[in-house]
Amino acid sequence: MADATQAIPSSAEPPVRPLEIPRLELPRAYRTMVLARLFDDRCLALQRQGRIGFYVPMGGQEAAQVGCTWALDPADWLFPAYRELGAALVRGVPLTLLLDQFIGNSGDLLKGRQMPNHYGYPKYRIVTGSSPVGTQISHAVGAAMAAKKKGHAIVTVPFFGDGTTSSNDFHAGLNFAGVFQAPTIFFCQNNQWAISLPRSRQTRSETLADKAVAYGIQGVVVDGMDVHAVYRAVKAARDRALRGDGPTLIEAQVYRFGPHSSSDDPKRYRPEEDLAAWKARDPVTALQHELLEAGLLTAESDAALWDAARAEIASAIQEAEATAPVDPLSMFDDVLARPTPALEAQRAEFATWLGQGETRT
């Protein structure tokens, strides 16, 4: 796989210019990838221990997510699926806040009403994800059109996998975005497997980015294991969108190192030799070697970085697990702005049943 970006021809080619991650930002990007890798591994372990009910790992996709989000402006809105831990960490979402959602305790802003990994944080411009694949694509296009009409110089970025490119929402979203030139970057993480369905059995398109041609938008294939290549592609796509040249579909070719979710066993369908070949291109290890060779990292500082990340994760877990559960009576909140007498009566009855009295909390 070539490192260079491969562009699918369109009528509005972006200018070719160097778009690199600033040298002094690389160590911070690396630390974010390390934190994502360690936190991801630990969360899957927590699920296996019964401390989290469900988890969707993202190991192997660190460069794609970090490179993409690093190239954006903090004002840009993200529309994740359920595997975008790296993007959340770039945005600065605290580990404890993420764990609160995974556990579903009283610190969870969604009050335990969403599945683990389906979080949303308006403060960090992250829209709540959903399990049905592709729904976030149309939402992202609509938000982009609203921003465009209001004169806000931002883009929206829906994240999705290769399987989603076969969904109705993918085609409807891209068609609308192409017609109205929405400032949206469609970021497809092609991790080669739609759960257990291989990419080869899903579509006859030579690349997933080829699908952009049908809607008259820019399509780009990029090495998703290379944080620099992803950054360049997203930065160029953002520049195009803000110039008014329309949306871009980016296919970041990556590989999912672990299972689709904690309910999946990839050993039942995935050849071990394929996994080994992709792990030889581990994006975290690749950036580590680059920084060591450039003198931006030493063996000692690298070891200290990994130890600090482990300690940060351990502290966040301890804090999240010490947080009280969600109040069961909260199920009656956020239903109506002014609760009806019937709803109030139901709440009071449930409070009595819980032995908590009838006082609103």
Task: Please give the positions annotated as active site.
Answer: 256, 260, 269
Q: Which value, to the nearest 10 degrees, does the dihedral of the CA atoms of residues 155, 13, 133, 69 take?
A: -50
Residue 181: closest CA among 206, 212, 216 = 216
Q: 159 with 224: CB under 8 angstroms?
A: no
For residues 306 and 66, what is the distance between their CA atoms, to the nearest angstrom?
A: 17
Residue given tokens 């990556």 in the structure block: 254
**Sheet containing strand 248-253, strands side by side:** 6-8, 218-223, 248-253, 185-190, 156-161, 77-79
